[in-house]
Every structure is written in C-alpha cells, then in structure tokens.
Amino acid sequence: MPRPPFTELIASLPSTVPFVGPEALARRRGRPFRARIGANESVFGPSPKAIAAMREAAEHVWMYGDPEVHDIKVAIAAHHGVGPQNVAVGEGVDGLFGYAVRLFIEPGMTVASSLGAYPTFNFHVAGFGGRLVTTPYREDREDPEALVELAAREKARILFIANPDNPMGTWSPAERIGELIGRVPEGTMLFLDEAYGEFAPEGTLPPLEVANPQVIRFRTFSKAYGMAGLRVGYALGAPEVILAFDKIRNHFGVGRIAQAGAIAALADQAYLGEVIAQVKAGRERIAAIAEENGLRAIPSATNFVAVDCGRDGAFASKVLEGLLARDVFVRKPAIAPLDRTIRVSVGTRADLDLFAEMLPRALAEARGR
Amino acid sequence: MPRPPFTELIASLPSTVPFVGPEALARRRGRPFRARIGANESVFGPSPKAIAAMREAAEHVWMYGDPEVHDIKVAIAAHHGVGPQNVAVGEGVDGLFGYAVRLFIEPGMTVASSLGAYPTFNFHVAGFGGRLVTTPYREDREDPEALVELAAREKARILFIANPDNPMGTWSPAERIGELIGRVPEGTMLFLDEAYGEFAPEGTLPPLEVANPQVIRFRTFSKAYGMAGLRVGYALGAPEVILAFDKIRNHFGVGRIAQAGAIAALADQAYLGEVIAQVKAGRERIAAIAEENGLRAIPSATNFVAVDCGRDGAFASKVLEGLLARDVFVRKPAIAPLDRTIRVSVGTRADLDLFAEMLPRALAEARGR
C-alpha cells in the first residue's frame, strides 16, 4: 500500500545537505586528503585532560549520560558567572539552532540574516518553514545596523548574527554588538552565534546580560576547545527561554563521553590559551602565504582565514578545485561577493607547508584555464 | 523589551521531561545508588573492541564525524542484508523518533499507541502537535489487532508498537507482527520499535521488508550493544522514507567517537551473543527473586523484567520507594494497570544480590504502611 504523505512542509524541502564532508570528497576521489584544513576544526585537538576524560568515560558508556546535564551546566555557569538556569546544553550549536528555531518559528514567519551567513542555521529555518530575508555583508563584515533595520522592516521573529563571523572570519567590537542588542526590535529574538568567540581579541564579546529575554547566545566545544566530533554546544539566555528547550530537546542526546569531555576541556583554560596563541600564529602564517602569492587575507578573529583570490567566484572555485586535487581540503563561501574567497582553517605546520606548496600551483592552473 | 512569544504549539507544551535520571535522584538523596538497574542499560557494557575503538577515536575527536555516516550505514546494511539507502542513523532511537514524527505529523494529526507505552515517543508526538489515541495492553502485552483497529477508526497517521515491548518486556511472535504489517491501514505509517530486538527469542522479529514504504523499524546500540551513553540508533525503511531524514536531521549529530564505537560493536557479534546469554540468566535470576518473595515476574524478551507486586499502583510505588531508599535504582510504569509492577533491569551478580537483599525489606515496609 502507498505510504501516507510527508507533511506539506517536509514535502517542500530539498534533500540537499548543508555541507559535504571531507570523507565524502575523499570517497569520490578515491584517496584521503593530506591536509584537512577546510572545516574550521582545531588540529590542535582538545586538552590532553579532556582526551583522558573521554577515554575514561568510554569504559562507562553503558550508562546514559545525565539527562539534566547537571554537572556540565554548573561548570559552564561558573565559567561565565551566570546561573545553571541560564544554560542549555545540546548536540552542538547545530542541534541547538534546530531547537531554538523550533521554539519561535511557525511556517511563514520571517528570519533576518546576512546574505551568505551560516548555511546550517538557514537549513533549520527552512526546516521549520521560516522565510529567510537577508541583507548583504558590508566590506566582508556582517552589518549590524542594516540587520536591525531589516528585522524591523520585515517584522522578523529571529535576527541572526555571528560574531566573529563564519565564513569570513570578520568581527565587530563588543560596543557595536551591544548597540545591536539595545536596538533589537520588539517582537524579535536575537540569536548571537559566538561559536568562534574564544579566538576573538578582547573587546569582541559584549558582556553577558542573561536577564535579557530577547537574546540567546550560542557557544561550542567544537572550535577552540577542539572537539568538533563530540557534539556539545550550549546556549546562554534568560531562564524562561532556556527552560523552553526542555520542552522539545532530545533529553539523553548529550551522552556520557560528551559530558565528560566537555567538563574536562572547560576546566583546562591554560590549554585553551595555548591553542588560541597557536591559532593566532597560524592565521598569520596563512596571511603570509596569501601575500606571497599576491592575494589578500581578510583579517580574521577565528581559526580560519578567508583568502581573497582577487577575481570572481568562478575563479576562486578553480583555485579551490586545484587545491582539492592536490590533497588540500579547504572550502569556500557559496554566495557572491563572499565567494571570491577560499576559506582556509589553521592547520599544523605540515598542513600549512602543504598549502604553501600547492597554492601557487592551484593559482597558476586557475589562471591558465 | 519583552521577548516575542513562543510558537502556539511550544507555549502549549509542559516543561516536564520524559524521565528523571538516576543522577538527579542521587543528587536529591545526597548519595549515589549501589545498584543501577532501573534504566534498562546493559551493565555488561559494549564489546572491549568497541571500547578500544572509542578510546582511539577520542584522540581524533577534533574532526567532525562523517556527516553522511557512510561507513556505519554500510556496516549496518551488510549486517541486515539491506542497502545503505535503507538505513538512517541518528542520535539514539529517541532522536530518530523526533525526526520521524516530524516527517509525518502536522498539528492535530492522530497517532495510535498503547496506553502506557514508551513515554519518549509520546513526548515527540506532543512536541509536534500530534493527538495521541491509545488502546490498553491486553494481559500485559501490546495488542496488535486492537492497535490496527484503533488506527483505522481514528485515521491515525502513525501507529506505534514496540516488539519486544517497553515497559513490560512482553513480545509477540513474528507471525503476529507480520499480520499487523499486512493490515496497516492506508494513510498510516507503522513505527516498529525493536530497541530490544536482539534479546528476543528467535521468531520474534519479522523479516525485514525494506521495500514497504509504510514501515519504519527502529534499532539501537543503547541496549544489547551496551552503549546507552553513546547515542547511536538507526532506522530501517524504504529509500524514499530514509532519504527524507536528510531533509531535517542534525547532519553532524552522530559524532566521531559514536560512529567508531558503533561500527566496532556491530562487528563483534560473538560478544553480543555472550551478553544476550548473560541477560537471559539475569532475567531468570530476577524471576527467581520475585518468586522467593511471592511475586510474579512477567515473562520478558528484553534486558529487564516487570515484577508484578500483586496489588495496585500505589502499593508498587511504595515498594519502589523502599528500594530507592535502600540504594537500588529501579523504575516502574506510570499508568494502570501496568503500574502495579516495578521494572528491574538485569544487573551484575552484585546488583541482583543487593536487589534480593532489599526487596523483602521494601515489601515488608510497603505492606506495613
């Protein structure tokens, strides 16, 4: 017998996925990459203490993780000087975006973002029937003032901004984000994605004002804490908003190893400091490589650098293909004018040596075509 | 400024959670449990090879897991003799229930289940606005014929049944489930929860007919494979249904350690066989303890046993409280008449020794009140 139909919304969604993983590319190519510097992962990995905690927890994985995620909430709250009631923990920021969009968006409602901003957020907006409206980046930066005006004009239920930004790596100072927070229109929630916040210079993250019910801030253990494959992110906000996640979240979704690893990583701030210093040096190296090749690196406050290839998106795509063919996994933004860049994550010295070796060849090939 | 409202549906949902974890109970009590035999976890843990794989993967957790979950899909498909296009992998069966309900249920649509069946499934039905209709258990078993009639009468979009069942541990033979599959009404999807399937006697699980677009079968690495804290489950079904999960799932949600552990566990079927034998012996021990105390153990095809305390739900609750107070974590069904039982998971010898020691005291106390 035929199956019942999917919901109208589901039927309308494409089967595309937000990102193709390097594993899928490697399968198609038939060989692995030699440098994996395309997914903004941290090659420096997590604290050795976090690895030890995960290895230890693997022995106890027959037990569900605490569904109330108590200990990790308490640790995060203490770290930020807020209360556990201000913290929701979920399966990465991606998972939390899904829940957070679902809390506020009914089909047809509007969400304001920047043209070319984080695709997985847009995936969840579409997944719950939201209508995305955008304003362009301005000089490769998200434009807080234009976003506020857009949200007000379109009566957006959610306004999304990342600071620092992905895919460009640019950032606004805390004062400017603070002004944005002060101007969020009535009827709008601000989703402030700070996944790369730990990498940013002092004065980038505005103070946490968790009493403000209009703002949810998103943080992760995937980037600076070096555990993208663990899936732990958290949201900070007002208790009434945080509590609502409990109405819909996958209560056992953050498992035993994940909780143990995240708690141990958070406790080792000295290691985090070392990673941040190494990432800064790596960004400088990528910028130097770009300059050696006559290209401009866009200043970044993240663990990646968008390198302006100097022509249009088609040209940058050729450069990207040339690098992929030479076993260097990088990615690039999909939407103009951001798509004139390739996005290179900070790698090990060996990763960046390979990038330095292959970039001129990829450029020559792209120019010669 | 005030925040925008939650969606109408979210506003209508309670903030209750499906289960209170033993960690939360331990925090309230101020001390840990001595026997953790209430959450149907596998005290025997996963294969040592799976533990080794997870420990090894912890070193590489800086990388996202493959978002296409390719290798694990291929392994699961080979194990069951189906194609990778018949397999969706997600954050435990709980996570997959969320996605699967979302594929089919718009607010107001009807879902048919048994009165007292798996609460987390009901949580997701409510979370997407579904209307739950139920038919009672019949002699402590889900009643396939009554469920089909209910689904037809109520024009249910989803019919849910677990075989073997949770919370009672009872089961129907494959032929009876096969008849149910043959009679699923037009316009209805059958969600067949086989989370405990590996424990069941031969002849319990009907053949996989993955061409049938009306059936999704759910399996997990949380129970027999001993990795509840890892969060890996999978759904088996027709390619058109399986593909739809990609429209909405958290693509990086099953992380690197999770994929590595599940692949290694699946490969060690010899270990699985040992666990199943130990669980069978443990069930017999629980039944013997029940009998020593003049109680009846309901025959089970799972890793837990529902012990009929012989009176009503209030009495069984007193027995439960007596066990909790004596450091034995068990649970019980919430809904009559199932609630006259306590549900005891198979534990280690020491766990069941403690249960044997404490059950008579808890019973005496309950009778004396």
Residue B369 has pLDDT above 70, yes or no: no
- Please judge whether A64 and B228 are an interchain contact, meaning their C-beta atoms are less than 8 angstroms apart: yes
pLDDT in tens, B144-159: 999 999 999 999 999 9
Q: How far apart are CA A359 and CA A365, in angstroms?
A: 10
Q: Which residue, among A19, A118, A189, A257, would best test binding to B if mutated, counting the most B CBs under 10 Å from its CB?
A: A257
As a whole number of angstroms, the distance between CA A148 and CA A169 comes to: 21
pLDDT digits (tens, 9 = 90+) for B136-195: 999 999 999 999 999 999 999 999 999 999 999 999 999 999 999 999 999 999 999 999
Kindly state the tokens that stand for B187. 């316009």
Q: Does B41 touch chain A (CB under 8 A)?
A: yes
CB–CB of A7 and B55 under 8 A? no
Q: How confident is the model at residue A214 (pLDDT cuts 50, 70, 90)?
A: very high
Contact check, Cβ <8 Å, A92/B252: yes
Q: Are A275 and A224 in contact (CB under 8 A)?
A: yes
SS3 of B236-257: the string is ECCHHHHHHHCCCCCCCCCCHH
pLDDT(B16) > 80 = no
- Please tell me the predicted confidence (pLDDT) of residue B66: 97
* H or E segment and range at residue B306: strand B304-308
Is B42 within 8 Å of chain A by CB? yes
- The answer on pLDDT for B20 being more than 90 is no
Residues 190-209 in A contacting B (C-alpha not used; CB under 8 Å)? none
B51-74 pLDDT per residue, tens: 999 999 999 999 999 999 999 999
pLDDT at A168: 98
**How many whole angstroms separate alpha carbon B286 and alpha carbon B281?**
9
- Write the residue in A27, A68, A214 that is nearest to B1 by C-beta: A214
Question: Looking at residue A18, what is its pLDDT?
Answer: 72
Residue B186 forms contact with A (CB below 8 Å): yes
CA-based nearest residue to A37, from A360, A326, A317: A326
Please judge whether B17 and A251 are an interchain contact, meaning their C-beta atoms are less than 8 angstroms apart.
Answer: yes
In this structure, what token pair is assigned to residue A276? Answer: 């941040």
Does a cis peptide bond (omega within 30 degrees of 0) precede residue A360? no
Give the nearest partner residue to B62 out of A63, A227, A238, using CB atoms: A227
Per the structure block, which two tokens stand in for A184? 């969020």
ipTM of the shown complex: 0.97
pLDDT tens digits for range A294-319: 999 999 999 999 999 999 999 999 99
* Contact B256/A at CB under 8 A: yes
Interchain contact A95–B (C-beta under 8 A): yes
- B residues 58-77 closer than 8 Å to A (CB): 58-68, 70
Q: In whole angstroms, how far apart are CA A244 and each of A24, A343, B14, B119?
A: 36, 36, 9, 19
Contact B252 A94 (CB under 8 A): yes
Structure tokens at A316: 């940058």
When CB atoms are compared, the residue of A4, A64, A65 closest to B157 is A4
Q: Which amino acid is at B23?
A: E
pLDDT value at A369 more than 70: no
Task: Indicate the pairing of strand B304-308 with strand A304-308.
Answer: unpaired
pLDDT tens for each residue of B85-132: 999 999 999 999 999 999 999 999 999 999 999 999 999 999 999 999
A351 touches chain B (CB under 8 A): no
Angle at A307 between CA A304 and CA A311, to 5 degrees: 155
B-proximal residues of A, 261-290, CB under 8 Å = 261
How do residues A121-152 score in pLDDT, each as one tens digit? 999 999 999 999 999 999 999 999 999 999 99
On whether any CB of chain A is under 8 Å from the CB of B252, the answer is yes
Q: What's the pLDDT tens digit per position in A38-55?
A: 999 999 999 999 999 999
Q: Is the pLDDT of residue A219 over 80?
A: yes
Beta bridge partners of B305: B344
Q: Are A59 and B84 in contact (CB under 8 A)?
A: no
Helix, strand, or coil here: A157? coil
Chain-chain contact of B103 with A238 (C-beta, under 8 angstroms): no
Cα–Cα distance, B188 to A133 (Å, whole number): 37
Instruction: Report the mean per-residue pLDDT for chain A.
Output: 97
Q: How far is CA B28 from the centre of its chain?
A: 26
- Nearest residue in B to A27, CA atom: B70
CA distance to partner chain A, nearest, from residue B231 (Å): 6
Q: Write down the mean pLDDT value for chain B.
A: 97
Residue A17 has pLDDT above 90, yes or no: no
Residue-wise pLDDT for A22-33, tens only, equals 999 999 999 999
Confidence of residue B18 (pLDDT cuts 50, 70, 90): confident
Residues A313-340 have pLDDT tens digits of 999 999 999 999 999 999 999 999 999 9
